[in-house]
Amino acid sequence: MTSSAKPQLSHFGVFCHDLDRMIAFYTEVFGMTVTDRGQGITMPFEIAFLTSSPLQHHQLALASHRAEGSVSTVMQISFKIKSLNELREVRQKALAKGATRMRGLNHGNALSIYFSDPEDNTVEVYLDTPWYVTQPHGDPLDLERSDDDIWNETERICRADPTFMSAEEWQHSFSRTDI
């Protein structure tokens, strides 16, 4: 039996030690709104639902019940933004609210910052570039440089990679494959 179902990722859930602290971090740094909060019935712990979109009830579910002393198993939670200035703004907000291990990476196809939230979950904030190179790819990204310097360097790095193509070309090739 063949299936035509292609589920799209919609939201992400994270268990927390300190639910209120995590809600404060994600609402203050990312401007998310708590849409609902309460005790679960089939999941007997407190859950807060957060979103940045009026079209989605929640994009992030934060839940109490993370075992005391347990380490994060989250590889990363990613947020997409539109400009280098927004990337710089989120970096400042995150640092002001307790983010640690801040670092910038130029993936060629995206410009990203990575940091740890207050409970040591890795968070990525990124914007797409108009280019594609095979991933994983990561060069240092210095957001203290001018936008022009960053964009020129990114294009140079991408064009030097043998897998280079425009993002539009990659999207077209992706749409022709059955991945």
For the stretch 77-120, pLDDT in tens is: 999 999 999 999 999 999 999 999 999 999 999 999 999 999 99
Q: How confident is the model at residue 8 (pLDDT cuts 50, 70, 90)?
A: confident
Is residue 62 pLDDT above 70, yes or no? yes
pLDDT at 9: 75
Cis peptide bond N-terminal to 136, omega within 30: yes
Higher model confidence: residue 178 or residue 22? Answer: 22
36-46 average pLDDT score: 92
Q: Which pLDDT value is given to residue 174?
A: 80
pLDDT bucket at 178, cuts 50 / 70 / 90: low
Q: How many CB atoms lie within 10 A of CB 94?
A: 22
pTM for this model (two decimals):
0.89
For domain 72-179, which architecture applies? Roll (3.10)
The torsion region of residue 150 among left (phi > 0), alpha (psi -120 to 50) and beta comes to alpha
Position 151 confidence tier, pLDDT thresholds 50, 70, 90: very high
pLDDT at 2 over 90: no
What band does 1 get if pLDDT is binned at 50, 70 and 90?
low
Q: Mean of the pLDDT values across residues 59-63?
A: 96
The segment(s) of the chain belonging to CATH 3.10.180.10 are 10-70
Least confident residue range of 5-14, 45-54, 76-85, 118-127: 5-14
Mean pLDDT of 125-132: 97
The whole-angstrom separation of Cα 93 and Cα 33 is: 16
Q: Are 111 and 127 in contact (CB under 8 A)?
A: yes
68 burial level (CB within 10 Å; 0-12, 13-18, 19+): exposed
- pLDDT > 90: percent of the chain: 86
User: Regarding the domain with residue range 10-70, which homologous superfamily does it belong to in the CATH classification?
Assistant: 2,3-Dihydroxybiphenyl 1,2-Dioxygenase, domain 1 (3.10.180.10)
In the three-class reduction of DSSP (H, G, I as helix; E, B as strand; rest coil), residue 178 is classed as coil
